[in-house]
Amino acid sequence: MNQNTSVQSHRPVVMSTRGMVASAHPLASIAGLRALMDGGNAFDATVATVAALNVVEPYMSGMGGVGCLLAYVAKEKRTRVLNFTGRAPAAAEPSLFTNENKESGILSVLVPGNVAGWLTLHKTYGGLELERLFQPAITYAEEGFPVTHLNSHLIADGQTRWSAYPSSNKILAPHGKAPEPGEKLLQPQLADSLRKVAKGGKEVFYKGELAQRIVEGSKDLGGLLTEEDLSDYDAWWEEPIEINYRGYRVLSTPPNSDGFQLLETLKILEGFAPSELAYGSADTLHRQIEATRLAITDRIEYAGDPNHAFIPVTGLLSDSYVADQRSRIDMARASAVQGEQYNPHASKDILLPGRIDPALLGSTTHLAVADSEGNVVTLTQSLGSGFGSGIAIGDTGIFLNNVANWFDISPENDVPNKIGPRRLVDWCPTPAQVFKDGDFFLSIGTPGSYGIAQTSAQMLMNVLDFGMNVQQAIEAPRFKCIAGRAVEMESRFSPEVLAELAGRGHDVEVLEPWSRVVGGAQGIMVDHSNGVLSGGADPRRDGYAIGW
């Protein structure tokens, strides 16, 4: 197994042989592990885990959110993508939106996709009864769970978003204030909604009682969701996109996900010899940052709904294009990007997309689950911002997402990611799976908005280039490029390296040593020679890997 003894980690790698669950909260990981121990497979355990996450991190994910996953199905010897992003409502005309109302409130809501995703995965590959899988989540919601220090901080931090809605206050501040660490948070309305979905399946959420209550609550607040928006929705299976990176197959999710940004970043960096990539050096970090900025520029230029915009993934990942991109890296000088989304007011010295050969144009959570049969699920899902729209809709206890915020609304430009009726949004998750010599090797991913693809590329390089184990790869210090030449970097990078990067023109903003700004990852590594699963989880949040 990979081992880089020079990189310190503060948690041990969790190892097991029968199964592994790595999620953003220990109670959710336990719910998934219980499914495995009861004879379920990785797909069952995923459903149990995500249902529990709905309860124990209500600000990050839940039935009102959206997501996507990679499912490696051992008996089929293939990885499949399940997309449950959610769509803009049919009435989502661009003229209705401002930067403010697409960021919070009822107009920021896309059709929730998570329930369709969870239940499609279960119907296709699960084995245990759905009511059994939802039971831990229902118990946590009905009987309460102790709020962690991070829970308490994020609930209080999001108060300006949710406090305007009585239905949200009833859940999060029943005694007039956000809960303190160690207090129990009870969510009886959510327990009832979970029980209805466990018994009635997708029908009850998209066409039945819950659908009616969601639509009525939305209309009462002036929202756009209709019965047809929900009843017409379903998750769908897709093929992953992939590259070869130094002999490894690296797979991620296709557009409307930003997986191509992750893969393009790696392909640009693959052209540098291993001797040019010394872990943590200023030269290596400069190359990583510049490759990231080039890939960000292409993502802003091309990303959007693949049903309405041509996204030249083949061209962007071609050897000739990435070679041209690599040649644009100036080792003495930092480049600038327009930001994280389309910015018509960006300065004139920003990076522009490269030229593609015409012949080639053709608040979030992450988890990983593996079982003894070789199945692996790599899943990222989100409400968007913390508590999404801020609205616990009606009396369902379900917080609705604000993922419309990831659309562009510029009225003077018809950009690929412009909001419109029933459109898919370009959004950030880039779950990744890696294969070595034909065998499954690594599952990894993270939350972190537009930093997700950046963090994922860094973690993958930590394993594939720098020989780290999964826990080291997750804990190692990280950076995030933002607008212009700004780059946020955890203070665990050496002062000398930070100073050298600043000398090349990078606008270095030093973060705390362990910053949630750069994500909260989970991962699982597979050692086939010994039949061992190794799990890692991010100390930047409440994540824990638990094996059996």
Answer yes or no: is 123 within a domain: yes
Please tell me the predicted confidence (pLDDT) of residue 143: 97
Answer yes or no: is 184 within a domain: yes
* Residue 128 contacts residue 82 (beta carbons within 8 Å): no
* Residue 521 contacts residue 445 (beta carbons within 8 Å): yes
Please tell me the predicted confidence (pLDDT) of residue 337: 80
Please tell me the predicted confidence (pLDDT) of residue 364: 83
User: Where would I find the H helices in 126-187?
Assistant: 130-143, 149-157, 159-162, 166-172
Closest by CA to 450, choosing from 343, 319, 535, 313, is: 343
Answer yes or no: is 342 within a domain: no
With 0-12 CB in 10 A as exposed, 13-18 as middle and 19+ as buried, what is 206? buried
Nearest-5° angle of CA 234, CA 240, CA 242?
165
Please tell me the predicted confidence (pLDDT) of residue 449: 87
What's the pLDDT tens digit per position in 463-500?
999 999 999 999 999 999 998 999 999 999 999 999 99
Distances (CA, A) of 199 to 125, 133, 280: 18, 11, 51
Residue 185: strand, helix, or coil: strand
Give the tokens for residue 263.
Answer: 């893969």
Answer yes or no: is 198 within a domain: yes
Per-residue pLDDT of the chain in tens (548 residues, 90 and over written 9): 446 666 778 899 999 999 999 999 999 999 999 999 999 999 999 999 999 999 999 998 899 999 999 999 999 999 999 999 989 999 999 999 999 999 999 999 999 999 999 999 999 999 999 999 999 999 999 999 999 999 999 999 889 899 999 999 999 998 888 899 999 999 999 999 999 999 999 999 999 999 999 999 999 999 999 999 999 999 999 999 999 999 999 999 999 999 999 999 999 999 999 999 999 999 999 999 999 999 999 998 899 999 998 999 999 999 999 999 999 999 999 998 876 665 555 555 666 555 544 433 336 899 999 999 999 999 999 999 889 999 999 999 999 999 999 998 876 667 888 899 999 999 889 999 999 999 999 999 999 888 999 999 999 999 999 999 999 999 999 999 998 999 999 999 999 999 999 999 999 999 999 999 999 999 999 999 999 999 999 999 999 999 99
Structurally, the chain folds into a number of domains equal to 1
Give the residue numbers spanning the domain of 96. 25-237+385-406
* Residue 482 contacts residue 494 (beta carbons within 8 Å): no
Please tell me the predicted confidence (pLDDT) of residue 4: 66
Please tell me the predicted confidence (pLDDT) of residue 2: 47
* Residue 447 contacts residue 363 (beta carbons within 8 Å): yes
Closest by CA to 213, choosing from 197, 237, 236, 234, is: 197
Give the tokens for residue 124.
Answer: 């296709």
Residues forming the active site: 364
User: Where would I find the H helices in 303-401?
Assistant: 313-316, 319-327
DSSP structure class, residue 398: P
Please tell me the predicted confidence (pLDDT) of residue 427: 87
- The Cα 230–Cα 226 span in angstroms is 7
**Which amino acid makes up residue 106?**
I
Closest by CA to 378, choosing from 253, 544, 546, is: 253
Answer yes or no: is 402 within a domain: yes
Answer yes or no: is 311 within a domain: no
Nearest-5° angle of CA 377, CA 379, CA 383?
160
* Residue 386 contacts residue 154 (beta carbons within 8 Å): yes
Please tell me the predicted confidence (pLDDT) of residue 412: 64
Closest by CA to 238, choosing from 47, 79, 122, 3, is: 79
Closest by CA to 236, choosing from 84, 434, 45, 97, is: 84
- The Cα 51–Cα 133 span in angstroms is 8
Answer yes or no: is 493 within a domain: no
Strand pairing class (522-527; 439-445): antiparallel
Answer yes or no: is 473 within a domain: no
- The Cα 337–Cα 334 span in angstroms is 10
Report the mean per-residue pLDDT for the chain. 93
**Which amino acid makes up residue 465?**
D
Please tell me the predicted confidence (pLDDT) of residue 416: 85
Would you say the pTM of this structure is higher than 0.85? yes
- The Cα 184–Cα 144 span in angstroms is 5
